[in-house]
Amino acid sequence: MRDEVKPGGGPSHVAVIMDGNGRWAARRGLPRLAGHRRGADTVRAIVRASPELGIRYLTLFAFSTENWKRPAEEVNGLMGLFRRYLRKDSAELEANGVEVRFIGERTRLNATLRDLMQGLEGRTRGLDRLTLTVAINYGGRDELVRAARGLATRIAAGEIAPEGVDEAAIAAGLDTRGLPDPDLVIRTSGESRISNFLLWQAAYAEYAFVTECWPEFTPERFAEVIAHYAARERRFGAVRA
Ligand code: FPP
């Protein structure tokens, strides 16, 4: 049973759909990749600001299973940005007590990127000021399919009975195993969709859709959204106490 969260409590786990990089760039007559580069600056600023705002877990949607449909130049540019971010920021993340995790299907990613991801996960494991989870080649349905396959394999091997498949078993098969569910999901750029992000985990989350594009989203605006959340009351299907 979950505890009711009383007004005044800030979110412990915030997940963000970082949307609007392309539109931000287009409005300025810049290539889309310039928007993604500015988006990486916003990532840095929001990660730095999170612990001060009482956030213990921050999860960012960086690349979806659908994003491969974009032009090769943009996909390659984004992958290059991820590699650069992991190389440039790993020392700062580690020094600041940030544990870094990745969710999503990795085999389709290039080997250099996968090595950087694995290396950073290993070096930061157990750090506990902030857990930063980055979703790369992530889709909520894809994650559920992989979890279901894992459970089916274990049932076929006789390791668990079909009746052993419960919510805890499914949660333990997801990429997010061990992470608490998000309390708040923020999406920038004015779109009100969840786009296949944390489908299972965000069942009881609050949602905040903000109009700013990701490159113009500031730590100050982030703090406002967090404060607004803290004033709401979550009941998880129960009635007011
Ligand atoms: C959505 O904007 C954004 C993305 C698909 C990429 C997010 C990537 C970053 C913020 C870059 C850096 C990330 C890390 C973790 C270092 P969009 O391109 O869909 O914008 P649009 O809807 O306006 O076209």
Is the shortest distance between the CB of 60 and ligand 1 below 6 Å?
yes
Is the shortest distance between the CB of 81 and ligand 1 below 6 Å?
yes
pLDDT band at 9 (very low <50, low <70, confident <90, very high): confident
pLDDT score of 238:
77
- Catalytic positions are 19, 67
Nearest ligand 1 atom to the CA of 82 is: 16
Closest residue CA from atom 8 of ligand 1: 62
Higher pLDDT, 237 or 121: 121
Distance 194 CA to ligand 1 centre (A): 15
Is the shortest distance between the CB of 40 and ligand 1 below 6 Å?
yes
Is the shortest distance between the CB of 21 and ligand 1 below 6 Å?
yes
Is the shortest distance between the CB of 134 and ligand 1 below 6 Å?
yes
Radius of gyration of the chain (CA): 18
Contact 131, 58 (CB under 8 A): yes
Give per-residue pLDDT as tens, 185-196.
Answer: 999 999 999 999
Mean pLDDT, rounded, for 173-197: 98
Distance 200 CA to ligand 1 centre (A): 22
Give per-residue pLDDT as tens, 57-82.
Answer: 999 999 999 999 999 999 999 999 99
Higher pLDDT, 236 or 182: 182
pLDDT score of 6:
45
Instruction: Give the chain's mean pLDDT.
Output: 95
* Helix boundaries (H) for the chain: 21-27, 32-49, 72-95, 111-124, 140-156, 167-173, 219-230
Distance 29 CA to ligand 1 centre (A): 17
Is the shortest distance between the CB of 46 and ligand 1 below 6 Å?
no
Q: Is residue 15 scored above 70 in pLDDT?
A: yes
- b or e along 11-26 (b: 16 or more beta carbons within 10 Å of the residue's beta carbon)? bebbbbbbbbbbbbbe
Nearest ligand 1 atom to the CA of 62 is: 7
Distance 18 CA to ligand 1 centre (A): 6
User: What single string gives the DSSP state of each residue in 98-163?
Assistant: EEEEEES--TTS-HHHHHHHHHHHHHHTT--SEEEEEEEEE-HHHHHHHHHHHHHHHHHTTSS-GG
Q: What percent of the chain has pLDDT over 70?
A: 95
Distance 88 CA to ligand 1 centre (A): 19
